[in-house]
Amino acid sequence: MRGLDIAIAGCGPCGMAAALLLHRAGHQVTLFERFEAPRPVGSGLMIQPTGMAVLAELGLRDEAIRYGARIDRLFGKAGKRVVLDVRYSALRRRTAFGIGIHRAGLFAMLHDSVLRSGIPVHTGHEVTGSTLLGTRRSLCFDGGTTGSFDLVVDALGTRTPLARSTGRSLAYGALWASLDWPMECGFDCRTLEQRYDRASIMAGVLPIGTPPGTTTAQAAFFWSLRADRLEDWHDEGLSMWKDRVAALWPACAPLLDQICDPAQLTFARYFHRTLTRPAEPALIHIGDAWHSASPQLGQGANMALLDAWALARGLEDAGDVEEGIWRAVALRRRHVRVYQWLTALFTPVYQSDSLLLPMIRDRLVGPLSKLWPATVIQAAMVSGLVADPLGPLGLRENEPG
């Protein structure tokens, strides 16, 4: 099926990837964005082999590798105990590695492609709802409504006004900062490193390559924090917080030296939600608008890219819009369910007030995870390849160009 008139709400990576794929499939696509100028929000993220398979189809995989930093290992310690040691090499595939990248890098690649493709982007349009008009649907804004479309794609994220409120906010979020990479300080430029104190404190350093507009390699630094303690953190003052970070992880001193203003740190809140019906007449929710979770397994952007690909694939051979969007949901439902469950299972082990779970993690699970087959299972989970997401979508892991 070709030639549909499609509106996409949200100009983040999810919406832009969907726009590019649907435009390439022969549909008329229009993007709507609430900001006056589209912009990335956040710091670093991980692109896994699943997300890279979609970027390869868009011709952007090699560009992502140039912008970002190759990640071969995830490594974490609680005190002197190694409690996380995941190596992509356990999968024995040349394509098995991640890419740490600044959100600005992923955003720039997709946004430039959207502009080159001539896809219309209407900025300053904050979506407040939608209206079904027969078999078509319009978008509602503060200042009025659009004309009707054959399909509206909701890529507005967790707090989308186009779906009913569901799920729950998670107690723990994280402070994030993008900083210059600390040279000669013992950090491995191909490793995401973390340090833990029980499950209530987690610090991490993720290499994110050289984002657009910079000439220096950077790191995303993050520190877990209960959302209800954010005001206390501000009141405590930067100096006391930096002392606590340095006490947990002395090697972070060169990173901490770069932080001189609390405004350099952005607080990210996390939510766990899954819509039971991600499609309605002439409307489909994708990415975080359908499913969102904590970033423990690093799947958010990758799941969104897979959703975008599934939508284009579902519409391809469908007889009508309704059949196409439900085909897309069917292509993704199993993988979404598996990773929503896995993330819900593992999040309390690393971000919670529990005393028992981190004790089990440190004394039992950590040592056992170094043994086969746990090494392979962990690598498969982190890479996003559990539940075979690529096969049903007709995607494959691609070698770098």
Cis peptide before 212 (omega within 30 of 0): no
Mean pLDDT, the chain, rounded, equals: 94
Query: At 3, is the secondary structure helix, strand, or coil?
Result: coil
Amino acid in position 42: G
More confident residue, 213 or 67: 67
- pLDDT greater than 70 at residue 14: yes
Give the model confidence (pLDDT) of 25-82 as tens digits.
Answer: 999 999 999 988 766 666 789 999 999 999 999 999 999 999 999 999 999 999 999 9
**What is the bridge-based pairing of β-strands 98-102 and 69-71?**
antiparallel
Give the model confidence (pLDDT) of 374-399 as tens digits.
Answer: 899 999 999 999 999 999 999 988 66
- According to the model, what pLDDT value does residue 320 have? 96
Which residues lie below 8 Å from residue 401, measured CB to CB, with a gap of 6+?
61, 62
- According to the model, what pLDDT value does residue 393 have? 97
CA-to-CA distance for 96 and 399, rounded, in angstroms?
10
Amino acid in position 227: A
- According to the model, what pLDDT value does residue 399 have? 64
Q: Which segment of 36-40, 210-214, 240-244, 339-343 scores lowest on mean pLDDT?
A: 36-40
- pLDDT greater than 60 at residue 285: yes
CA-to-CA distance for 52 and 396, rounded, in angstroms?
10
Which tokens in the block code for residue 315? 């519409």
Query: Which helix (H) or strand (E) element contains residue 31?
Result: strand 28-32
> Averaged over 91-116, what is the pLDDT?
93
- According to the model, what pLDDT value does residue 41 have? 65
> Averaged over 105-130, what is the pLDDT?
95
Q: Which segment of 3-17, 176-190, 251-265 scores lowest on mean pLDDT?
A: 176-190
CA-to-CA distance for 51 and 57, rounded, in angstroms?
10
pTM for the predicted model, two decimal places: 0.96
- According to the model, what pLDDT value does residue 212 have? 80
Question: SS3 helix, strand, coil % of the chain, rounded to 5?
Answer: 40, 25, 35
Q: C-alpha 316: how far from its chain's center?
A: 26
Cis peptide before 373 (omega within 30 of 0): yes
- Residue whose pair of structure tokens reads 């039992």 in the numeric block: 364
- According to the model, what pLDDT value does residue 400 have? 59
- The CATH H-level superfamily of 5-167+271-393 is FAD/NAD(P)-binding domain (3.50.50.60)
Domain ranges (residues) in the chain: 5-167+271-393
Please, what sign has the CA dihedral across residues 166, 172, 177, 183? negative
Asked whether the beta carbons of 205 and 253 are under 8 A apart, the reply is no
Residue among 236, 164, 249, 165 at smallest CA distance from 202: 249
Give the model confidence (pLDDT) of 126-181 as tens digits.
Answer: 999 999 999 999 999 987 888 899 999 999 999 999 999 999 999 999 999 999 99
Residue among 176, 260, 179, 175 at smallest CA distance from 219: 179
Give the model confidence (pLDDT) of 299-332 as tens digits.
Answer: 999 999 999 999 999 999 899 999 999 999 999 9
* Position 125 confidence tier, pLDDT thresholds 50, 70, 90: very high
- According to the model, what pLDDT value does residue 3 have? 94
